[in-house]
Amino acid sequence: MSFPWAADYAPKHPLMRYLDEKLPLPRLVYNAVGAGYPVPRNLNYFWNFGVLAGVALVIQIITGIVLAMHYRADAGIAFNSVEHIMRDVNAGWFLRYTHATGASMFFIVLYTHIFRGLYYGSYKPPREVVWLLGVVIFLLTMATAFMGYVLPWGQMSFWGAQVITGFFSAIPLVGDGIRVWLLGGYAPDAAALNRFFSLHYLLPFVILGAVILHIWALHIPGSNNPTGVEVKGPQDTVPFHPYYTAKDGFGLGVFLIVFAALMFFAPNYLGHPDNYIAANPLSTPAHIVPEWYFLPFYAILKSFTSNFLWVPAKLWGVLAMFSSILLMFFLPWLDRSPVRSANYRPVYKWFFWVLVVDVLILGYCGGAHPSNKIVVISQLCTMYYFAHFLLILPLVSLLERPLPLPNSISESVLHGEAQEAAPYGVATAPVAAPAE
Amino acid sequence: MAQAPVETVEAMAQEPELRRRDFINIGAVAFAGVGAVAVVAPLVLQMAPSADVLAEATTEVDLSKIMPGQAIKAVYRKSPLFVRHLTPDEINKANAVPLGELRDPESLAQRTKPGKSEWLITMGVCTHLGCVPLGAGEGETRGEFGGYFCPCHGSTYDTAARIRKGPAPKNLQVPDYVFRTDTTIEVGAKA
């Protein structure tokens, strides 16, 4: 793991030496997030978001375990048990609002993390596996978030469960059977609620496992950086601790301030008032939309309105929605450009921002009433979304002429002045000499 | 603390003992510590009884139907409550015991309300390990001291529900209660 110049763990205290022989846990920590892990010296604040996603996951797990001590997964009393948490349980409102706001904060961080990866080419070799594991984590998080949203058993919970499990009924021949099997009935009810609760409790720990693999796979090549240029020598890196523990600590402080502001002052801003009405299987709310973090995908689902090539519109929508995420698994092989960072890819850089805008418009359309105009806009944006990955990326990587890359990270940091490329204190290190 | 490779010996020599950065570092970590404690508080407090549990924490008992010598079981805070109408003979037996002989010395008067010494109100929870002692129900054994007998580990209580024999350390607990009328009590109320 890591670079040859990584500092070696050398415990001084006899007790720590003893522990190192028997259970080298401090060594693992030292080599993973301590002084023994060299990290490119030029990471910007977008590199905070991996740590922030980890913190968001931990916040969700802790508040979730505590909420599960008071929540009851029974269709008859689930809704009231959530109100019980809000009104009767000591600090229950704090715990529930933290969990609910925490889900939104988790996705804000996750999307920033994903788009950071897209901009700086973090999905390219040698980090493909890191990216693939990230997509797995994203899918698991979406599933967990959906099942968590069902648990309060309000109107949006119930009809969300109805609609999302309805996706599976689009599968030809066996679809309806699969849906009934998933729900354990013909509509969401006690059986569905109970199994969603069970899985909602299980999946975060599966995510945690996938996160450990994600970090493990990352620590083999080491972090990407804003130039996308490989680390070439010790002058290009600084130890994780104290440099990035401090930088991540600062980012964490900012993150928690935003989190607290949203949680204390607008805890329901990102939710739907309809979910404070108990589930009613006989009446669908007038305007049913998923949580904001699913809206772009919901727009893709809704943009297929007519049958095409003997395939029903319903199946097209579901296939397109799932493909829009599964596409990410192929990204490292769709973008063939050897240059990682969009800072040195003048054409890709434009298309990246167009994609960001495209996804934002999709998000808006996903939340809007499906008027004719909105449907046409979502159709165009859906088309563009798929074109970006399947046509534009392969073509751009063929045709684009990238800008000259800096010789090394330290040169780029020091504006190309080669003599200054070796930082203070390691002047004897070889300047810009490839270490490979 | 891990040493940073960019700091050379000469650079260290020029630095004062306590640098500005050390102060910021200690300040930031201390502030984070305060924040962590503030977050732990709700996580701990949520385990304490919730408002709806506390709201049911008093119980009214009607005494009018309980004949002398009889006892009933009621429920207070989800635990059994023994309400016993002592006979004059049981009162005399309780008062005859010298306090010095008792493991947990308390007189019957200390364990009942003034002028109401025939009403013995105690929790039906053995002070040993929490079983329900026998003696309040119809036909149950009352043990050799005529009070209560715990079948789990053989603790025996007298007619003032004081521990006389067996492993229990304390007398059966007398909860807070108030006579609302001559024949009703509110258990759990302090005044």
Domain range for B160: 53-187
Q: Is residue B134 part of a domain?
A: yes
Chain B contact present for A413, CB below 8 A:
no
Active site residue B153: yes
* Local confidence band at B15 (pLDDT 50, 70, 90 cut-offs): low
CATH of A40-231+241-288, one of 2.60.40.10, 3.40.50.720, 1.20.810.10, 3.30.470.20: 1.20.810.10
Instruction: Quote the number of domains for chain B.
Output: 2
Helix (H, G, I), strand (E, B) or coil at B14: helix
Which pLDDT band holds residue B52 (cuts at 50, 70, 90)?
confident
- Same domain flag for B80 and B97: yes
pLDDT for B12: 56
Helix (H, G, I), strand (E, B) or coil at A337: coil
- Chain B contact present for A69, CB below 8 A: yes
- Any idea where the domains of chain A sit in the sequence? 40-231+241-288, 295-417
Tens digits of per-residue pLDDT, B78-119?
899 999 999 999 999 999 999 988 999 999 999 999 989 899
Distance from CA of A153 to the nearest CA of B (A): 21
pLDDT number for residue A409? 87
Contacts of B42 in chain A (CB under 8 A): 90-91, 94-95
pLDDT score at B11: 57
Best of B31, B46, B47 to disrupt the A interface (most A CBs within 10 Å) is: B46
Tokens of A190: 């006690």
Are B67 and B36 within one domain? Answer: no
Asked if A235 and A410 count as a contact pair (C-beta separation under 8 A), the reply is: yes
Q: Is the pLDDT of residue B4 over 70?
A: no
| pLDDT value for B1 | 43
Q: Are A424 and A227 in contact (CB under 8 A)?
A: no
Residue B17's pLDDT is: 75
* Cα torsion A200, A205, A207, A210: sign: negative
Mean pLDDT score, B26-39: 91
Q: Which two tokens stand for residue A272?
A: 């739907």
State the Cα–Cα distance between residues B169 and B161, nearest whole angstrom: 13
CA distance linking residue A391 with residue A399, whole number of Å: 12
Structure-block tokens of residue A15: 């007790």
What strands lie across the sheet with B59-62, from one edge to the other? B59-62, B184-187, B177-179
Q: Write the residue in A7, A69, A87 that is nearest to B51 by C-beta.
A: A87
Q: What is the pLDDT of residue A216?
A: 94
The answer to whether residue B4 sits within a structural domain is no
| B113 plus B181 within the same structural domain | yes
**Same domain for B40 and B119?**
no
The answer to whether residues B64 and B34 belong to one domain is no
Distances (CA, A) of A53 to A49, A50, B188: 6, 5, 48
Residue tagged active-site, from A248, A274, A358, A411: A248
Nearest-CA residue of chain A relative to B26?
Answer: A246
- Asked if B3 has any chain A CB less than 8 Å from its own CB, the reply is yes
H-run or E-run covering B37:
helix B20-45
Residue with tokens 């569905």: A192
Chain A touched by B14 (CB under 8 Å)? no
Confidence of residue B20 (pLDDT cuts 50, 70, 90): confident
Whether B90 and B179 map to the same domain: the answer is yes
ipTM of the complex as predicted: 0.76
CB contact under 8 A, A94 and B2: no
Are B41 and B59 in the same domain? no
pLDDT for the residue B19: 82
pLDDT of B10 reads: 57
Tokens of A433: 């000499």
Closest residue in A to B43 (Cα–Cα): A66
Establish if B140 belongs to a structural domain.
Answer: yes
Interface test with B, best of A85, A89, A238, A241 (most B CBs within 10 A): A89
Helices (runs of H) and strands (runs of E) counted in chain B: 5, 9
Q: What is the pLDDT of residue B130?
A: 92
Among A61, A88, A245, A259, the strongest candidate for a mutation testing the B interface, having the largest count of B CBs within 10 A, is: A88
Token pair listed for A119: 């901009």
Q: Is A247 a catalytic residue?
A: yes
Whether pLDDT at B7 is above 80: no
Question: Which pair of tokens denotes residue A224?
Answer: 């990407």
Cis peptide before A4 (omega within 30 of 0): no
Inter-residue contact A203 to A144 (CB < 8 Å): yes
Answer yes or no: do B59 and B148 share one domain. yes
Predicted confidence at residue A419, as pLDDT, reads: 47
* Interface residue B43 vs chain A (CB under 8 A): yes
| Residues A277-304: tens digit of each pLDDT | 888 888 888 888 899 999 999 999 988 8
Tokens read off for A16: 């720590």
* Strand A237-239 versus strand B177-179 pairing type: unpaired
* Candidates B4, B47, B51; nearest CB to A242: B4
Which of the four pLDDT bands, split at 50, 70 and 90, describes residue B16? low
The segments of chain A whose pLDDT lies below 50 read: 419-436
Confirm whether A219 is a catalytic residue. yes
* Cβ–Cβ gap B46/A239 under 8 Å: no
B3 occurs within a structural domain = no
Same domain, B69 and B148: yes
pLDDT in tens, B135-163: 998 888 999 999 999 999 999 999 999 99
- Give yes or no for a contact between A107 and A293, defined as CB atoms under 8 angstroms apart: yes
Mean pLDDT of chain B: 88
Considering the candidates A113, A200, A219, A232, report the single residue annotated as catalytic.
A219
A108–chain B Cβ distance below 8 A for any pair: no
Q: How many CB atoms lie within 10 A of CB A91?
A: 17
CATH value at residue B154: 2.102.10.10
The answer to whether the CB of B56 falls within 8 A of the CB of B50 is no
Amino acid found at A313: A
Q: Do B46 and A241 touch (CB under 8 A)?
A: no
